[in-house]
């Protein structure tokens, strides 16, 4: 099956990034969210990103307009997925919300359509069980920011068919990404390795080992990381970090995944990082 029409559900940072990359690769994309304000905000973000590429000489004005012409904003989910070959869900990282959405997608999308989730940690098998086509449900975990980062974790659920995997693997390459096959375990590979490191860095702050600045400096200079774990946590969103740690803790039942109390405290205070102006650092 060749993918030509894609619907991206969720016009936030991840969803708009996925929609942009899909449109740049020549696909026709419907970008969907619950209201026009959110969809328009997503489109504005895409236009801004394309404008930067234009300024740097990576795109011509004609190419930019062609890409934008392949993007179609919608708020009606049923209409948005009625004639697509693939749906990529990029809504809030909540198991119940995703399961409810996949029930609707299963009802409204064509029988041949593949349903993909951009979840960063939730079980693909459970999400697929909400549908009558579990063999056509798969994980496509893009990295943030999507237009820049090359990796896509392609995660098979228990029932995901070989054909579904092959189609999605080929599509990811067509979108200029490097797909890596991963099995369906909590956190997959990326967050199973990354989040405990971030959590341990937070414990180091919590226990007074060092300041956030010092911890980030050690990891940048000593381990050659492009940014420190606490800066990265603020960028990801501390609420998202906490949710993933809780998913790992629940999924494995291992104390090494226990979220740091300081992380819980920051989230309770709505110190969520860059998006709220305060996390481990203060943002003007």
| Residue 1, pLDDT score | 79
CATH of 192-273, one of 3.40.50.300, 1.10.1040.10, 3.30.70.1230, 2.40.50.100: 1.10.1040.10
Q: Write down the domain spans for the chain.
A: 5-183, 192-273
Q: Closest Cα partner for 157 from 126, 178, 186?
A: 126
| Residue 124, pLDDT score | 97
**Residue 70 CB burial class (10 angstroms; 0-12, 13-18, ≥19):** middle
- Residue 222 CA to residue 228 CA, distance in Å, equals 11
From the candidates 153, 181, 199, 213, give the one annotated as an active-site residue: 153
Task: Reduce the DSSP state of residue 117 to 3 states and report it.
Answer: strand
From the candidates 49, 120, 121, 199, give the one annotated as an active-site residue: 120
153 is catalytic: yes
| Residue 204, pLDDT score | 98
Question: Which tokens belong to 188?
Answer: 């997959």
Query: Domain 5-183's class?
Result: alpha beta
Q: Closest Cα partner for 95 from 1, 186, 2?
A: 186
Residues 221, 271 contacting (CB under 8 angstroms):
no
Q: Where are the beta strands (DSSP E) in 20-177?
A: 28-32, 71-74, 86-89, 114-117, 137-142, 151-156
Q: Where are the beta strands (DSSP E) in 91-224?
A: 114-117, 137-142, 151-156, 178-183
Handedness of CA 160, 161, 163, 165 (dihedral sign): positive
174 is catalytic: no
120 is catalytic: yes
From the candidates 141, 162, 213, 246, give the one annotated as an active-site residue: 141
Half-sphere exposure of 266 (CA within 13 A, CB side): 31
pTM higher than the cut 0.75: yes
161 is catalytic: no
Question: Which tokens belong to 277?
Answer: 């102006």
From the candidates 7, 16, 121, 191, give the one annotated as an active-site residue: 191
The pLDDT profile of the chain, 284 residues, written as one tens digit per residue, is 789 999 999 999 999 999 999 999 999 999 999 999 999 999 999 999 999 999 999 999 999 999 999 999 999 999 999 999 999 999 988 899 999 999 999 999 999 999 999 999 999 999 999 999 999 999 999 998 999 999 999 999 999 999 999 999 999 999 999 999 999 999 999 999 999 999 999 999 999 999 999 999 999 999 999 999 999 999 999 999 999 999 999 999 999 999 999 999 999 999 999 999 999 999 98
């Amino acid at each position: 099956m060749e993918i030509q029409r894609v619907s991206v559900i969720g016009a936030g940072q991840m969803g708009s990034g996925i929609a942009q990359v899909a449109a740049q690769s020549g696909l026709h994309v419907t970008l969907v969210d619950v209201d026009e304000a959110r969809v328009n905000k997503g489109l504005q973000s895409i236009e801004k990103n394309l404008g930067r590429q234009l300024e740097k000489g990576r795109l011509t004005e004609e190419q930019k307009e062609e890409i934008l012409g392949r993007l179609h904003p919608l708020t009606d989910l049923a209409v948005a997925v009625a004639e697509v070959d693939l749906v990529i869900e990029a809504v809030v990282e909540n198991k119940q919300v995703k399961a409810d959405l996949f029930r609707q997608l299963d009802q409204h999308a064509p029988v041949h359509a593949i349903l993909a989730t951009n979840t960063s940690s939730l079980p693909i098998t459970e999400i697929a069980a909400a549908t009558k086509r579990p063999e056509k449900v798969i994980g496509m975990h893009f990295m943030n920011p999507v237009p820049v980062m090359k990796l896509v974790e392609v995660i098979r659920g228990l029932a995901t068919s070989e054909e579904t995997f092959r189609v999605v693997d080929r599509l990811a390459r067509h979108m200029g990404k490097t797909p890596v096959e991963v099995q369906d375990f909590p956190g997959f590979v990326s967050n199973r390795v990354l989040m405990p490191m971030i959590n341990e860095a937070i414990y180091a702050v919590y226990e007074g080992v060092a300041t956030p600045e010092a911890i980030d400096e050690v990891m940048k200079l000593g381990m050659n990381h492009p940014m420190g774990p606490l800066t990265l946590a603020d960028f990801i969103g501390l609420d998202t970090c906490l949710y993933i740690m809780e998913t790992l803790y629940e999924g494995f039942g291992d104390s090494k995944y226990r979220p740091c109390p300081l992380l819980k405290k920051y989230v309770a205070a709505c110190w969520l990082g860059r998006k709220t102006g305060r996390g481990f650092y203060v943002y003007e």
